[in-house]
Amino acid sequence: DQQVKQNSPSLSVQEGRISILNCDYTNSMFDYFLWYKKYPAEGPTFLISISSIKDKNEDGRFTVFLNKSAKHLSLHIVPSQPGDSAVYFCAANKVPGYALNFGKGTSLLVTP
């Protein structure tokens, strides 16, 4: 069952522009949302998270927005850099530290 969905398998963005990665979820019990970044032959690396009581969290070039009523979150990367090229996973769980439910990932390519 796909409780976390990333409907765009890939995204291409020019260097310096904004990258927007989207994620939808179906389980209204999810309370904690995370974004991970993955390079080939490496494990997922934690990027940024947000709890359901917030609608925005910012960390440097990365901002995550949460719309609970729409069950939708997005990751904004501004400005995008070639080193951001990777697969980005959205993940969610009911309580921080419990089992993570992952989306299938979006492959981001940032071109010079």
* Binding interface with other proteins (CB under 8 A): 2, 34, 36, 41-46, 49, 51, 53, 89, 91, 95-105
Quick one: CA dihedral 44, 90, 19, 12, positive or negative? positive
Tell me if the bond preceding 79 is cis, omega within 30° of 0.
yes
With respect to other proteins, which residue has the nearer C-beta, 15 or 31?
31
Q: How far is the CB of 87 from other proteins (least distance, A)?
A: 10
Q: How far is the CB of 14 from other proteins (least distance, A)?
A: 28
Q: What is the dihedral of CA 75, 79, 84, 86, to 10 degrees?
A: 40
Q: How far is the CB of 51 from other proteins (least distance, A)?
A: 6
